[in-house]
Amino acid sequence: MKQFDVPVIYRSPLISAIKKKRKQEDKMKKPASPSGRDFTPSLLDLGPVQFYLARHFGFCYGVENAIEIAFRTIEENPGKRIFLLSEMIHNPQVNEDLQQRGVQFLQDTYGKEIISLDEITGDDIVLIPAFGTTLSMEEKLRAKGIAVEKYNTTCPFVEKVWNRSEQIAQKGYSIVIHGKPKHEETRATFSHSSSNAPSVIVNDMVETIELGKYITGEKNAAEFYTEFKGRYSDGFDITKDLQRFGVVNQTTQLASDTQAISDYLRQLMIKHFGLNDSTIGERFADTRDTLCYATNDNQTAVSGMLETEADLAIVVGGYNSSNTTHLVELCEKTLPTFFVTDEEKILSADEILHFDYHHKQELHTINFLPKNEPVKILITSGASCPDALVEGIIRKVAGFYGVATKVDVLAAQIM
């Protein structure tokens, strides 16, 4: 896979060494799972505190690609005004670094205008974030003379979803999108899919079940337009447009959730239309190839990590990061889980600030570290989180046990 030129401030010698060693060891291991892949965590044993690092975490291909383009653009265009359509990725440190280098945001993550497009000229540079953007926004930027394609950092795996949507649309399928309706990526995917076929967004299985009732006629068609207001394409006809469709997703959703939604709708179509496995293609498109490899690997790695007995889990990433939130969701089913942005949130050996994504608020917890030794901590991070932040947390917690220097010793041994 391509190697990207990412600023060294985001790298971690310790984490890089662990990941490199793990790759080398994996080549020699027998298959540890039915799929032939090993998702057991890596142990960093510091004596009184032990860290178990997920097999996969941190920057993914799309994020590194976006960061490389953004920083290269800044370096190659001194004196030019550079704008980001919205946050580059959902990581506060990266976005702050870009702003400190003069990059300005045109919108917030919900599409609310911060700087008017009227202020933009053809001499300016506008970066498209990794989530992509809507077709209407691309048209507005082109109308101002902005070279949209030249500074487009849209993740290739997001574009893969758009391309797959277009392919099945050409075969007469409508599109059901599994995604958070207000998320930038979902808005972009909806824009692209609805330009080719009737499209509708579902947030979760609960909404999927309700959508299914319109397909079967269990619910009155007129209610659909109220229940799914703002989530269906212009001219969408609930009595006709879900007779034949495929499911695609916001790439940062739980892969298992998307698969469950797809499986549910597939079985519903089989039962409702009297189909079987050989004829289901008449009504339901196979879109399993739209699931993002990085999202899937990170989530599977967390599931593998949770098989290890531990006291708590720490998940690092931006509070508005969808893929990170899903890692938290997986961890908290098993262990006390603390969702933090960086080491500064760990105030002391007794106190921590962490995010409750259910209620969208930061909590202050006392005595988050148990008194027993060794303390066993599972740790992972989102796809937009720099490895340097994970190392920072490891070093800070190690310091509470007087073993911070062991981190350097272990790093040297691993290298």
Q: Which residues are identified as catalytic? A: 185
**Residue whose tokens read 């597939």:** 266
Reference 128, options 205, 70, 176; nearest CA is 70
* CB within 8 Å of 257: residues ≥ 6 apart: 178, 204, 205
What tokens were used for 211?
């959508």
Q: Report the length, in residues, of the chain.
A: 415
DSSP state of 152: B
Question: Which residues, in sequence order, are CB contacts of 173 under 8 Å at separation 6+?
Answer: 197, 244, 245, 246, 285
CA 212, 213, 215, 219 torsion: positive or negative?
negative
Q: How many CB atoms lie within 10 A of CB 194?
A: 24
Tell me the pairing of strands 312-316 and 284-285. Answer: unpaired
Q: How far apart are the C-alpha atoms of 253 and 247, rounded to whole Å?
A: 13
- Its sign, for the CA torsion 315, 44, 348, 372, is positive
**Partner residues linked to 216 by β-bridges:** none
Q: What is the token pair recorded at 290?
A: 């739209």
Task: List CB contacts of 366: < 8 A, sequence separation 6 or more.
Answer: 350, 351
Query: Across the chain, how many H-helices and E-strands are there?
Result: 13, 14
Count the neighbouring beta carbons within 10 Å of the beta carbon of residue 135. 14
Written as one string, the DSSP assignment of 155-190 is -HHHHHHHHHHHHHHTTT-EEEEES-TTSHHHHHHH
Calpha distance 136→62 (Å, rounded): 23
Residue with tokens 């060891």: 25
Q: Collapsing DSSP states into helix, strand and coil, what is residue 11? A: coil
